[in-house]
Amino acid sequence: PILVVNFYAPWCYWSNRLKPSWEKAAKIIRERYDPETDGRILMGKVDCTVEVDLCKRNHVQGYPSIRIFRKGSDLREEDGHHDHESYYGDRDTDTLVKTMEELVAPVSLQSHVSSDEEASSKVAKENGTKRPAPRAGGCRIDGFVRVKKVPGNLIISARSASHSFDASQMNMSHVITHFSFGKKITPRVMSDLKRLLPHIGGSHDRLNGRSYMSNPSDSNANVTIEHYLQIVKSEVLTRHYKLVEEYEYTAHSSLVHNFDVPVAKFHFEPSPMQVLITESSKSFAHFITNVCAIIGGVFTVAGILDSILYNSMKLMKKKIELGKNF
C-alpha cells in the first residue's frame, strides 16, 4: 500500500495547526479506501518526541514532515536512492484528500492485491532481510554569491515559513570541495602562475577537500561550524596585460555550541592591503652599463691584486738585500 505519514512534534505550532486537517482527511480516506477491503493507501502519524529513533532513521529534522512511501516502506534500492517523497503542498483538508486521491488513481485494486501477494512471497524467500535507509541525510550546494568587498557572513541554515526544527537533530557536518573568491582560475593560468611565482596561488582555495564533522548526540548537539577567513587580493601584471587577479585567504575553523538552529557560517574579512606584482623590462643601455660596470670592476680588482703583489715582492727583495749586507 501507499503509506503517507505525518511526522510531528506536540510542541510544534505548525504541527498543531495541521492536526485537525490531517485527522479529518485521514478519516475521509479511511472511509473511501477501507484498509480491510481496499488498503491501497494508508495515512498515519508519528510523534517524534516518542519515536525518536524512527524519526532519526527517516532524517526528520523539521516538523511537520509529511512523507509519501509508495512501496509502504523506506527501503534502499541497489542504486542507493530512497523510496520516499516529501509533500510540500497545502495542508488544508480538501487539498490533502485531493492529493491522496491522485496518489491512489494510478493503482488499480486488482494490481494492488497481486503486488501484495508477490511482495509477501518475496519477503518470505528473503527471510525478511532488507537494507535499511542510512542514518544520515545530506544535500549538495553548488553556485556562487556576489558580495561586496567589505566584511560579511555567508550562512547556510535551515529555514521554513511553515515548519519548526529540532535543533538537537540538526547536523551541519560538511565537506568542502571547492571554495574560493573572485573569478575561477583556469588550470593553464594556474600552472603558468606557479611556474613564474611559486609562492603565489597556494592559498586561493585553502579549504578545498577539507571535512568538518559533528555527530548530534547528548554531548555534541546544537553545534555550529564557523570558518573565519582573512582575504588578501593579489595581482600579477606583465608588460602587456594583467596575468591574473586572485584572492588568497587564510582560514581558521571551530565548532561552537548554539542554542538556536545550528548553521554553517563563513565569516570573511577582506584585507585593506593588496599584493601587486609587476614585470618591468630593462633597456639595452642599461645592459651596456651593467657590462661596462662588470668590466671596470674586473680591471679594478686586477689592478688592486697587481699592486699588492708588486709591493709584496718589492718588500721581500729589500729584506733579502739588507740580510746580505749584514
Q: Which residues pair with 182 in a beta bridge?
A: none
Give the pLDDT confidence of 282-319 residue by residue, as tens digits.
Answer: 788 888 999 999 999 999 999 999 899 988 888 888 87
pLDDT confidence bin for 79, thresholds 50/70/90: very low
For the chain, what is the mean pLDDT?
79
d(CA 264, CA 258): 11
39-53, 152-166, 193-207, 240-254 — which is least confidently predicted? 193-207
Percent of the chain with pLDDT over 90: 22
Of 253 and 167, more confident: 253
Among residues 12, 48, 55, 139, the one annotated as catalytic is 12
Backbone angles phi, psi at 288, to 5 degrees: -60, -40
Question: What is the pTM assigned to this prediction?
Answer: 0.55
Nearest partner of 73 among 97, 87, 54, 88, judged by Cα: 54
CATH code for 2-125? 3.40.30.10
Cell of 311: 709591493
Tell me, what's the pLDDT at 25?
92
Give the pLDDT confidence of 124-178 residue by residue, as tens digits.
Answer: 444 444 444 445 567 788 888 888 889 999 998 887 777 777 777 788 888 999 8
Q: Report the range out of 65-79, 104-118, 236-250, 254-268 with the highest average pLDDT.
A: 254-268
Q: Which residues pair with 251 in a beta bridge?
A: 229
Amino acid found at 55: C
| 12: annotated active-site residue | yes
Tell me, what's the pLDDT at 16?
92
Sign of the torsion angle spanned by Cα atoms 74, 77, 80, 84: negative
